[in-house]
């Protein structure tokens, strides 16, 4: 598969990613109209879930933007986007509970979260340059006809492999956080059956964005692996 095939592959993955992302935004807009009967805001739901799990050292704060919600294990904060923090609907409940699911994982030393956290410093440095290192190694190898280019390309593949591993480790972390959120929402009766159904559907589509990213990372790794190893006799 040459560069044309690579661009077709990238285009296909980008198209699927765009479709899943569009569906996710559409789902959140839809479930943002399903107002909670208990009248609780996303922030109040997050605080309640933390308290119910015996977590007292995590703060719930508001952060600018849309779908910028995340849990920060370094300063122990559940960061909710402005819409989620203040809104009182099924989408806000789903996101708030999901992010608290990560806080529960952290409190319980969930192994996949610990592993992902260890990879963050390395991946944050190497992921952006890995493709260029592989490409540069291939060009150098073809131009100079020496083994140095090959080993540079292999080093790039290792960087790319770490990023791919990170993407796949992220999957159980995200799915587990959603499961913890949904179990808590259901068992505590915080939401009605209709609201629960909306939260479940929203989180399902959110998880699919991570799945597409992982598949894309793997496809990219396989392609460049074939370029590096396939060119050796």
CA 138 – CA 134 distance, rounded (Å):
6
Largest CA distance in the chain: 70
The SS3 of residue 81 is strand
Mention every residue, 6+ apart, whose C-beta is less than 8 A from residue 218: 164, 167, 168
The SS3 of residue 35 is strand
CA 72 – CA 93 distance, rounded (Å):
19
**Does 99 qualify as catalytic in the annotation?**
yes
Question: Out of 47, 99, 174, 195, which one is annotated catalytic?
Answer: 99
Mention every residue, 6+ apart, whose C-beta is less than 8 A from residue 231: 138
Helices and strands, number each (H, E), in the chain:
8, 3
Helices 42-52 and 147-187 pack at an angle, to 10 degrees, of 90
Cβ-count burial 87-121 (b if 16+ within 10 Å, e if not): bbbbbbbbbbbbbbbbbbbbbeebebbeebeeeee
Active-site residue list: 99
């Amino acid at each position: 598969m040459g560069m044309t095939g690579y661009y077709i592959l990238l285009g296909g993955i980008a198209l699927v990613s765009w479709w899943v992302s569009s569906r996710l935004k559409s789902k959140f807009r839809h479930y943002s109209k399903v107002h909670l009967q208990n009248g609780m805001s996303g922030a109040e739901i997050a605080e309640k879930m933390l308290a119910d799990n015996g977590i007292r050292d995590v703060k719930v704060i508001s952060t600018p933007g849309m779908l910028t919600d995340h849990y920060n294990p370094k300063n122990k904060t559940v960061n909710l986007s402005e819409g989620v923090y203040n809104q009182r609907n099924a989408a806000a409940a789903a996101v708030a509970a999901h992010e608290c699911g990560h806080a529960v994982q952290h409190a319980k030393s969930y192994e996949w979260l610990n592993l992902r956290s260890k990879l963050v410093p390395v991946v944050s440095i190497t992921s952006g340059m890995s493709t260029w290192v592989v490409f540069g190694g291939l060009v150098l190898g073809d131009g100079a006809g020496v083994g140095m280019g090959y080993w540079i390309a292999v080093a790039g593949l290792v960087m790319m492999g770490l990023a791919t591993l990170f993407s796949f480790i992220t999957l159980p972390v995200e799915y587990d956080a959603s499961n913890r959120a949904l179990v808590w929402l259901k068992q505590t009766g915080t939401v009605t059956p209709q609201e629960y159904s909306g939260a479940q559907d929203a989180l399902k589509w959110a998880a699919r964005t991570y799945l597409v990213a992982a598949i894309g990372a793997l496809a990219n790794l396989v392609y460049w692996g074939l370029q590096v190893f396939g060119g050796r006799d």
